[in-house]
Every structure is written in C-alpha cells, then in structure tokens.
Structure 1
Amino acid sequence: MSLKKSVYLLLAAVMVFAFALAGCSKGENEGKNTGSPAKNKEITLAYVAWDSEIASTNVVREVLESKLGYKVKMMQVDAGPMYVGIADGSADAMVAAWLPSTHGDNYYEPNKNKFEDLGVNLDGTKVGLTVPANMDISSIEDLNNAEIGKSLNFTITGIEPGAGIMMATSKAIEEYGLKDWKLLESSSAAMTKVLQDAYAKQEPVIVTGWTPHWMFAEMDLKYLEDPKGVFGGDEQIHTLVRLGLKDDHPDAYKFLDQFEWTPADMESVMVDIYGGMSEEEASKKWVENNADKVNQWIDGI
C-alpha cells in the first residue's frame, strides 16, 4: 500500500471517529437543561390579560426557557377560551385558575374532567368591589344610598367581559338590588387607569379589584364588605395542564407541579412592570434574584 493511500485511510478513520463522538455527545445532551431548546421542546401557556396573570405566566415562561430549554408560546385569551384551550389540548398549561369562586362554576366545573389540576400555586387571593380607603363607604349595601350612587354616577368600572369577577359583579348588582347601577366593561389596564385618575384627583370611584395586584401597593384601597358572600371568601390560584402533558414533557410537568410562590413574589413582578419594565425584563429579574426558590421548582429535573 502506498504512503499516500495510507494517509487517506488514516484521515478517513479519524473523521469517522470524530463524527461518532459528536453523535454520542448530541445524544447524551438531548433534552438536558442546557438552556437551548431541543426541537420537540415546545410548550404553549394560556393566560388572561390580568396584571397578576401576566406576571405569573411570564415568570413560568422565563424558567421554562432559561432553565429547562423550552421554546414557549404565550397565548393571551379571555377566561373561557383559556379553560377550553387546556381542555382541548390547544394549550399545554396555565397558572391562572382562580378557585373556588371566581372561575369555579362557569369555567372549571364544566371542564374539570378534561384537564389535570396540579393544585395551588398561590394562596391568599381575594376579589371584590374596591374603592379608595378614604371614601365614606364600607359595604356593598351602602350603594343603595342615592347620594352615594350619584357621586359615583351609578357606575362600577370593570374589566374584560366574561371574566369571573365580572359575572360575580353582575350577580352582586342583582343580589343587592342595585337596579340603577351599571357595570362598565373595559379591560384590566383601562380599569386601573380610571382608578388612578380618580385617586389622583381624590374623586370617588369604584372598580372590580383583586389581590395580589400592584394597585394595592401603589394606592390606599379597601374592599367593600360583602355580607351576602357573592364574591366568596379568600381564594387560591391553581395550575392546570392538559391531559398527557406528563408523558409528553415530564420535566415541564414536574416544574409546573412544583411551582408555588407568594402574593409578595407576584406583586414584586407586577410593580416592576408597572414601573416601566417589559414583562420579559421583570420576569428575568425576579428569576435571577430568587434562585433558591427557582431551584426548588426545578428540583429533581
């Protein structure tokens, strides 16, 4: 065999060995938490455009992308389609199920056999009618006072139509006999703008409110008492996932199952967004500043 032919054979053998090593390396690293998404590591998160759910869903997105290597699609919808999306599999997960009252009867119960409930991710939420703390009014029953009604133009400023809190408010208007009152449909952002403007001018205003929310950190507000219990008591936010997610994406499923934080955690993200940060910047900042908690969420993955 000639020297030239021997050199060619040696080079060919080296190249085959190098490709084999590369293939092994790729196989070993496929699906590991490298921070770069593998081809099949895609997941869709559904959420409603409430400030609280924008905060929580973006933090979950940040962890899925930066820690678990997923490519995440964000699907912003109203409450009804959010539940339907998880039930029919067009979305993989959501961390925005307000239970038992806000979403219970209208959205959760009709679909509860079509998804998996991973339990509470945040405890201690509340919804109700909200006013500035200095207003001389303490109960929803007080809205029957004509003078109070006139001062508020008989208007409650709400959020998106179809939201659980809007349905509860419509029921409250009926239950408390507030026949002259109207519930103004708008959006979460529009509602807070109305509240901020009135608060700055020290004018009376009443809105549909919930906690956690940055508005309670920025303004001195109070809930009106609800003696008939229309809005329910303290609630929790649950994580729901589509059926089959555990088999398709066990690492994402485990993280979502272990995801749990506090109202203070959520409010800190909301305050940063309200202060001018983008949703991506605020969620990344929170994840970086709360490594211990994030590590608990992805423990065992």
Structure 2
Amino acid sequence: MTLHLYARLALGAALLGAGVVAAPAAAVAAPEPETAKLAAVTEQDPDTGRNKKYLVGPDEVAPVVLGVTNVGDEPVEGVVVQVRVFDDLDLIRRYDNCWYSTWTNQDAAWCEFSDVLEADATLALTASIVKTAPNARADKLPAVVFRWASKEWADGRGGVEALAQADALPGTEVQRGTDGTLRLESRSLPLPETPRPINFAYVGLTTPPSPTPTGSPTASPTAGPTGSPSAPATTTPGADPSVPGGEDGGEGGGLPVTGAGTATLAGVGAVLLLLGGGGYLVARRRRTRFVA
C-alpha cells in the first residue's frame, strides 16, 4: 500500500513538473520573421566595382558609408542597424540612439531610427562611427560588418538594447551613448549584384612617406638640388658668365673691366704715350738737321 502511494506521488510530481516546464514555452510566441526587403549598401570603387576601401591614419575616423536600400514594394516604418568591428578598428561610442557592447576583440553597436524608408529609396548614416586604434596595424584591420533590419523585427526581439546585450561578453553590460543622436540622410549608392541585408566596408592605413637614408650616395628622386629653382640666389651683374656684360649689341659677353686695376692700366698707358711722343720729336729733329 505504501509503495503504491509513493509511486502515485512520484508520478504526480513528474507530471506537474512537466507541465510547469512546458507552460512558459507554450506561452511565449516565436518572434515574427523579417518581412522588410532591405539591402545593405556602401560606396564602390569605380575601377574595380568592389566595395571601397577607406584609407586613414592611426587614431582617425574612417569615413565609411553605411547605407540601406528598400528593395521591396512597401515602405518600412523605422529601421535598425548593427555595426561590428574587430581588432584595431574601434567604434565611436557617442550617440544616444545606439547601444554598444564588447566581446573580446569585437565591438558592436545597435542603432535605431524612426525614419520611414520608402520603396526604392536609400538612406545612410550622416556620420561614421568607425575609427582606427591609436597603434593600428595594417594587418589588424578586418572588414566593417553592417546589417540592417526593420524596427518591427527588432522590437519583436526585445529592441536594440536586448540585441546589443546578446552581442556582449557574458557578464558585461551594454552602454548607451549620451552625446547627440545619430541621423540618416538620403544617399545615392549602388546596389550589389546580390542585394542582402548584410554587407562589408573596408578600412586601410595610409602609407607614410619613406625617410631618406642618412649618408646615402643617391638622393631621392623627389629631392631637388640645393636651392629652390623657384627662388634663385641674387647675384651682381657680370658675376654670371652666361649674362652678357653691358649693351654691346648682342656681340660677345666679356667681363667688364672695373675696380682698382683700371687706374693702374690708365697710368701705364699715359706713360707709354709720353715716351712715344718724345721719341717722335727727337727723330724729327735729327731728320731736319740732316736735310739742312
């Protein structure tokens, strides 16, 4: 009798436990799937047709363009965007309509907007929220991953705060920005060949100029001679052999005789003239006496 009682109690407890466990699962409805048809878009390189790579230096804002196009037939009442960066790319944690989280080497943000996205229209962030780390390395800059969804889809999953918390490292809290509101603006951006709600943007480091090696016998091709050709040194007339000396009708180009040597030459010439004149008189006197 006692065994039957214990068995019945155990069975009742098992059935009660099964009912308690099953009740919440039946009460919580599965979230509705996404119905909006959105395409994540960004700028493309006109030469390659691929997504553009934005070149910046360390600790600089990368002007990545993150946009969304409504490729459906119905307007979308509000949109949200998830932005993820890794390694030496960081997020600017500023805006009050965004929630930010961290998971090891990943920074993520979920931002919501109340804008109505009309069919075939494109909207994009008015400001970039991506920057490089102060000591960024070129090999530590993977792609910026961004994904768009309707606000209805996000609200069905607890809103952007809950979505951001799902991206956070367990045990850490998400942060909301406090400095202004991130906005959207109309843009004209190309659609990828296969439109999807997720896309990628790329960031690279600008290459710093190579310094000229000290003591190298060969100069850099960009280095000019000593003295700028646009600001030549001032010289006195006649110091340059290529400059004609005086107004001589374009003939020759000898150096002008100037300075203290001019007086000496003039004195010697005068003496020679006097001697020549005296000799002429003596010779004439002798000739006169001979004729007489």
TM-score bin, normalised by smaller chain: under 0.3
Superposition TM-score, scaled by structure 2 size = 0.23
When Rg is computed on C-alpha atoms for both structures, the one with the higher figure is 2
Q: Which structure dedicates a bigger proportion of its chain to strand?
A: 2
Q: Which has the higher contact order (CA 8 A, sep 6+)?
A: 1
Superposition TM-score, scaled by structure 1 size = 0.22
